Structure 1
Amino acid sequence: MTDLSVFYKLDADIAWEPTDPGVKRKVMAYNDQLMIVKVAFETGAVGTLHAHRHLQLSYIESGSFEVEIAGHKKVLRTGDVFSVPSQAIHGVVCKAEGVLIDVFNPMREDFLPR
C-alpha cells in the first residue's frame, strides 16, 4: 500500500486568504522544517517591509516585482528567484500583476489558521 501522506491537495482545493490590500495567499504544504506558500498580488499592491527569523526563497511565477532586501532594490520578473536571510528587512511592490511562490525554513507558524 502506498503512503499518501507525502502528497498534498491540488491548488484548486485550497482557499485564498486575503492578507493586505491587493494581496492574497495560499499555504500549499508544510511540515516542521519547510513551508511553501503561493502569494498573488494585484498591480501596485505592496508586501510591506518586514523581517522574520525564517530563511526564505521566493520564485516569481508570474508578473514583475520591485524587491527590497536589506536596503537593496531590484526589479525581478517571471522566472527570477530571490533569497531572504533570517532577520533581513524585506518587502515587494508589484509592478505587474503576479504570483510569488515562497518557501520558508522553518515553517511559518503565524501563517497557520488559528
Structure 2
Amino acid sequence: MEMTTKNQSKRFVFSQEVAWEDLGGGIRRQILGYDEHLMLVRVLFEKGAVGVVHHHPHRQTTYVESGVFRVRIGDEEAILRAGDGFFVPPDVPHGAEALEAGSLIDVFAPARRSFLGLDED
C-alpha cells in the first residue's frame, strides 16, 4: 500500500479522494501532489472571490484551467482566461480576482510546507 506522508504525496493522486480545504471568501484548495521540492494545487474560485495580494519565497507558475481572472504580479496586471498562465518569481507580491467562477492550477517550488500544516513558508 502506498502511503502519504508530510514529506511526499502518493504517486497517484485521484481528485475524488482528496479533501478540499475551504479558505473562505469563495476560495477552496486541493493539494494534488508534492514532495519537499515541488507542489501541485488546484484552487477553485467563486465569481468575485479575491486571492489577496501576498508574497512567499517560492517560485510559482499557474495555469488557468477555467474561468476569467484579473491577476496582479508586482506592478503588472492582466486579464487571463482558460488556457493562459503566469509565473511569479520568489517574494514578488501577487494576487488574483475571479471575474468569472473558475479554477487555477498552481505549481510551487519548493513545496508550500504551510499548506501541509508544517512550519511557515
Specify the TM-score bucket, using the shorter chain as the normaliser: over 0.9
In structure 1, give the amino acid aligned to 2:52: T
* Residue 81 of structure 1, aligned match among 85, 106, 112: 85
Pairing 1:46–2:50 present: yes
In structure 2, give the amino acid aligned to 1:54: H
TM-score by length of 1: 0.93
Report the Cα offset of residue 90 of structure 1. 0.1
C-alpha distance after superposition, 1:10-40 (max 9, x if no partner): 0100011011310000011100100000000
In structure 2, give the amino acid aligned to 1:47: G
Q: List runs of 5+ in structure 2 lacking aligned partners.
A: 4-8
Q: Tell me the C-alpha RMSD between the 2 structures.
A: 1.7
Note the 1:1-114 alignment, pairs <5 A. 7-113=11-117
Percent of aligned pairs sharing the same letter? 42
Report the Cα offset of residue 112 of structure 1. 0.5
C-alpha distance after superposition, 1:40-89 (max 9, x if no partner): 00000000000000000000000000000002110000000100000000
Q: 2: CA distance between counterparts of 1:18 and 1:71? A: 29
How many residues end up aligned between the 2 structures?
112
Q: List runs of 5+ in structure 1 lacking aligned partners.
A: none
SS of equivalent residue, structure 1 residue 64: strand
Q: 1: CA distance between counterparts of 2:105 and 2:98? A: 14
